[in-house]
C-alpha cells in the first residue's frame, strides 16, 4: 500500500513539475519576415471579442502605415470578465507581459520589479506627446514615469436638473456666492419645493462621502491631504477642519437633505435616484459623464430637465478636492521586456498627432461622424457609443470645423470648472511597509465618519477617534509625511 501511495505521489510530483512554469516567458522577437512589428496590447474592454475594438485597431494599423509608414500589427489580449486590475495582475504575474499595457491600478508592484519602461526619455524625444501633456500629467510623470494618461482632470462636479434649479429662489445667491451657508439654504429650498415627494432629498452619493467631499471639502479648509499646522504636517482626516466638515454632513443627514440611504447606494442606484427624481443633486466626472447625465435626464424628464453644473462650495478655499499628483491612477505603460519599445511608443505618439487624434476622438467615418461641406458632423452614435481610447488634450484641431460640439454645454461647463479649480495635492505614495496600517487607519476613519454622519456617534468623540487613528499607525505615517513632504 505504501509503495502504491509512493507511486501516486511520484506521479503527482511529475505532473506538477510538468505543469509549473518558472521560465522567463517574455516577449519573443516581434518583427516578422515582412517587417511587420507585432504589438501585443492589453486594454480594458478592448479585446478581440469586441468588434468595435477590432475595427478601431485595424483602422489604427492602416493609419500608421499611411501616415507614418509604420508596419504594425496589433494583437489584442482577451481579458476575462471581472475586476480588470485583478485579472491584469494575474496575467502579468503569470509571466505573459504584453508590449502595451493599460493599467487601472496594480501597476506599482509591476513597476517595482522593473517590468515597466521609464517613459521620460521617450516623451522628451517625442514629436507630439510632449506638447499635449497637461499640468497634472507633467507632475505625475515626474513622480512616477511609467504610466501615461493624457486625459482631462477627472474631478467630479455636482449637477441638478435645470427646472428644479430655476424654481429655487436661492439658486441665484448660490451661483453668485457658493458659500456653505448658501449651499445649505439651496439644498433646503430644493427639498421644500418638492412636488409629489420629488425630490425626496437634496443630494445622494455612492456609498461613501467622497462625492460629497468634491463639493464641500475645500470650503472647510481641507485643501491638501497633509495640512501644515504650526510648522508641521498633520493628516487632514484628523484635523479640526475635518471635524467641522463631519458636523456639517451630519446636519445635512439629520435634516433629510443627504440621502438617508447613501451608505448602501452604488453608482447605478445613485444615478437611478437622480433620473427618477428622488435626488436633486448628484456628482459625476466632468466632461463625458456629465454629458451622459444630461442626455439621459432630458430623455427621461424632457428638454427642461437638462442639467446645470453647480460650482464647488466656497469657504476657506474653493475647489473640487485636491488632485493627487503622485502618479496616474490609470494609464498606458510599455513593458521593459518588449522587443519593440520604440514602435510601441511611436504608436502612442502618433495618437497625439492631428491624424491620430481625429481617429481616436471622432471614431469611424460614416458611423460616428460625417464630413460635409460645412464641416464635421458628429452622429447620434458618436454621443451614445464613442469615447477616446487614448489621449484627450485640451487643444484639438481638425482640418474642418466641428459642426456639432464634442460635448454638450453642461459637460463643457463641468470641464471648464474642473480645470479652473485644479489644485495639486501634497499626498505621496504610501510605502509598502505602511500599506496595512494605512488600510486600518482608513477603516477607522470610514467607521467614525459614517457613525457621526448618521448620528450613531457624537462628533464630540472626535478626539477619541484621532487617538485611535494615531495608534493604528497614524503617528508613524505622520512622521514619515513630515520627512517626505518638502
Partner 1 sequence: MTQKGIFHRIKKDWVIYLMLFPAILYFVIFNVIPIIGMKLAFQDYRVIGDNIWVGLKHFKVLFSSPAFFDVLQNTIIISTMKIVFFFPIPIVLSLMINELRNGPFRKYVQSVIYLPHFLSWVVIAGVWISLLSPDAGGINVIRNFFQLPTLDYMTSKDHIRWVLVFSEMWRSAGWDSIIYLAAIMKISPSLYEAARIDGASTFQQMRFITFPQLLSTVVVVFILNLGFFLNAGFDQVFNMINDSTISKIDILDTYVYRIGILNGQYAYATAASLFKGVIGVILILSTHFISKRLTGKGVW
Angle 59-289-261 from CA coordinates, rounded to 5°:
140
- The CA distances from residue 398 to 56, 268, 356, 402, in Å, are 19, 36, 11, 8
| Residue with smaller CB distance to partner 1, 203 or 290 | 203
Minimum distance from residue 130 beta carbon to partner 1 (Å): 30
- Grid cell listed for 471: 495608534
> Judged by CB under 8 A, does residue 19 bind partner 1?
yes
DSSP secondary structure string for all residues of 412-425: HHHHHHHHHT--B-
Out of 435, 460, 464, 479, the only residue in the binding site for partner 1 (CB under 8 A) is: 435
Segment interacting with partner 1 (CB under 8 A) among 14-22, 63-71, 224-232, 386-394: 14-22
> Judged by CB under 8 A, does residue 455 bind partner 1?
no
Out of 113, 229, 384, 460, the only residue in the binding site for partner 1 (CB under 8 A) is: 113
Look at residue 104 and give its three-state secondary structure: coil
Look at residue 157 and give its three-state secondary structure: strand
> Judged by CB under 8 A, does residue 5 bind partner 1?
no
- Quote the CA–CA distance of 110 and 192 in Å, as a whole number: 53
Minimum distance from residue 55 beta carbon to partner 1 (Å): 31
Torsion, Cα of 358, 362, 367, 369 (10° steps): -90
> Judged by CB under 8 A, does residue 479 bind partner 1?
no
Q: What are phi and psi of 371, to 5 degrees?
A: -95, 120
Do you find a cis peptide bond into 199, omega within 30 degrees of 0?
Answer: yes
- Quote the CA–CA distance of 479 and 159 in Å, as a whole number: 39
Out of 207, 256, 375, 424, the only residue in the binding site for partner 1 (CB under 8 A) is: 207
| Residue with smaller CB distance to partner 1, 114 or 304 | 114
Segment interacting with partner 1 (CB under 8 A) among 64-72, 108-116, 129-137, 304-312: 108-116
Binders of partner 1 in range 281-300 (CB under 8 A)? none
Binding mask 251-280 for partner 1 (x = CB under 8 A): ---------xx-xx----------------
| Residue with smaller CB distance to partner 1, 173 or 440 | 440
Measured distance between the N- and C-terminal CA atoms of the chain, rounded to whole angstroms: 70
Which residues, listed in sequence order, are joined to residue 227 by a DSSP beta bridge?
Answer: 234
The footprint of partner 1 on this chain (CB under 8 A) covers a number of residues equal to 51
Minimum distance from residue 469 beta carbon to partner 1 (Å): 11
> Judged by CB under 8 A, does residue 485 bind partner 1?
no
The alpha-carbon radius of gyration of the chain (Å, integer) is 26
Out of 446, 458, 461, 464, the only residue in the binding site for partner 1 (CB under 8 A) is: 446
- The CA distances from residue 176 to 159, 179, 478, in Å, are 16, 9, 39
Binding mask 209-238 for partner 1 (x = CB under 8 A): x-----------------------------
| Residue with smaller CB distance to partner 1, 109 or 299 | 109
- Quote the CA–CA distance of 39 and 57 in Å, as a whole number: 11
Segment interacting with partner 1 (CB under 8 A) among 144-152, 171-179, 240-248, 435-443: 435-443
| The pairing of beta strand 201-203 with beta strand 279-285 | parallel
> Judged by CB under 8 A, does residue 29 bind partner 1?
no
Minimum distance from residue 117 beta carbon to partner 1 (Å): 14
- The CA distances from residue 252 to 406, 420, 422, in Å, are 36, 27, 27
| Residue with smaller CB distance to partner 1, 110 or 351 | 110
DSSP secondary structure string for all residues of 315-355: SSSBSSSPBP-SS-SSEEEEBTT-S-HHHHHHHHHHTTSHH
Sorted by sequence, the CB contacts under 8 Å of residue 86 that are 6+ apart come out as: 106
Out of 50, 59, 71, 108, the only residue in the binding site for partner 1 (CB under 8 A) is: 108
Please name which of 293, 308, 283 lies closest in space to residue 154, comparing C-alpha atoms. 283
| Residue with smaller CB distance to partner 1, 286 or 335 | 335
Minimum distance from residue 283 beta carbon to partner 1 (Å): 17
Binders of partner 1 in range 309-338 (CB under 8 A)? 337
| Residue with smaller CB distance to partner 1, 105 or 354 | 105
Binders of partner 1 in range 50-89 (CB under 8 A)? 85-86, 89
Binding footprint of partner 1 on the chain (CB under 8 A): 1, 3-4, 12, 15-16, 19-20, 22, 24, 26, 85-86, 89, 92-93, 95, 97, 105-106, 108-110, 113, 115, 207-209, 260-261, 263-264, 337, 432-433, 435-437, 439-440, 443, 446-447, 449-451, 454, 456, 471-473
Amino acid at each position: 500500500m505504501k509503495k502504491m501511495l509512493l507511486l501516486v505521489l511520484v506521479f503527482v510530483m511529475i505532473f506538477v513539475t510538468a505543469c509549473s512554469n518558472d521560465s522567463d516567458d517574455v516577449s519573443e522577437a516581434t518583427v516578422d519576415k515582412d517587417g511587420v512589428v507585432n504589438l501585443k496590447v492589453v486594454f480594458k474592454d478592448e479585446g478581440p471579442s469586441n468588434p468595435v475594438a477590432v475595427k478601431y485597431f485595424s483602422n489604427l494599423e492602416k493609419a500608421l502605415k499611411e501616415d507614418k509608414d509604420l508596419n504594425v500589427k496589433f494583437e489584442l489580449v482577451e481579458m476575462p470578465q471581472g475586476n480588470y486590475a485583478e485579472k491584469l495582475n494575474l496575467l502579468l504575474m503569470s509571466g505573459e507581459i504584453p508590449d502595451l499595457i493599460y493599467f487601472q491600478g496594480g501597476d506599482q508592484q509591476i513597476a517595482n520589479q522593473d517590468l515597466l519602461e521609464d517613459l521620460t526619455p521617450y516623451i522628451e524625444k517625442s514629436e507630439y506627446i510632449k506638447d499635449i501633456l497637461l499640468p497634472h500629467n507633467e507632475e505625475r510623470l515626474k513622480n512616477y514615469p511609467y504610466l501615461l494618461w493624457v486625459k482631462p482632470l477627472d474631478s467630479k462636479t455636482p449637477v441638478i436638473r435645470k427646472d428644479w434649479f430655476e424654481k429655487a429662489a436661492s439658486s441665484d445667491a448660490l451661483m453668485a456666492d457658493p458659500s456653505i451657508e448658501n449651499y445649505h439654504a439651496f439644498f433646503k429650498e430644493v427639498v421644500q419645493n418638492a412636488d409629489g415627494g420629488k425630490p425626496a432629498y437634496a443630494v445622494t452619493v455612492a456609498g461613501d462621502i467622497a462625492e460629497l467631499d468634491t463639493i464641500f471639502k475645500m470650503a472647510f479648509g481641507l485643501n491638501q491631504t497633509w495640512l501644515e499646522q504650526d510648522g508641521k504636517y498633520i493628516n487632514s482626516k484628523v484635523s479640526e477642519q475635518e471635524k467641522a466638515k463631519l458636523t456639517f454632513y451630519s446636519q445635512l443627514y439629520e435634516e433629510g437633505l443627504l440621502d438617508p440611504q447613501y451608505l448602501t447606494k452604488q453608482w447605478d442606484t445613485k444615478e437611478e435616484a437622480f433620473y427618477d427624481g428622488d435626488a436633486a443633486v448628484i456628482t459625476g466626472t466632468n466632461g463625458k459623464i456629465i454629458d451622459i447625465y444630461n442626455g439621459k435626464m432630458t430623455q427621461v424628464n424632457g428638454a427642461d430637465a437638462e442639467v446645470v453644473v453647480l460650482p464647488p462650495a466656497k469657504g476657506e478655499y474653493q475647489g473640487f478636492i485636491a488632485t493627487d499628483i503622485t502618479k496616474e491612477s490609470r494609464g498606458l505603460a510599455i513593458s521593459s521586456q518588449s522587443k519593440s519599445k520604440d514602435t510601441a511608443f511611436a504608436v502612442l505618439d502618433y495618437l497625439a498627432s492631428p491624424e491620430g487624434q481625429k481617429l481616436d476622438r471622432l471614431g469611424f467615418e460614416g458611423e460616428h461622424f460625417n464630413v460635409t461641406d460645412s464641416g464635421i458632423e458628429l452622429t447620434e452614435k458618436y454621443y451614445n457609443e464613442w469615447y477616446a481610447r487614448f489621449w484627450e488634450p485640451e487643444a484639438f484641431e481638425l482640418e474642418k470645423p466641428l459642426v456639432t460640439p464634442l460635448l454638450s454645454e453642461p459637460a463643457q461647463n463641468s470641464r471648464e470648472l474642473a480645470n479652473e479649480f485644479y489644485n495639486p495635492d501634497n499626498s505621496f505614495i504610501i510605502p509598502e511597509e505602511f500599506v496595512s496600517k494605512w488600510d486600518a487607519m482608513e477603516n477607522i476613519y470610514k467607521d467614525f465618519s459614517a457613525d457621526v454622519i448618521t448620528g450613531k456617534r457624537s462628533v464630540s468623540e472626535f478626539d477619541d477617534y484621532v487617538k485611535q487613528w494615531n495608534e493604528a499607525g497614524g503617528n508613524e505615517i505622520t512622521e514619515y509625511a513630515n520627512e517626505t513632504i518638502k
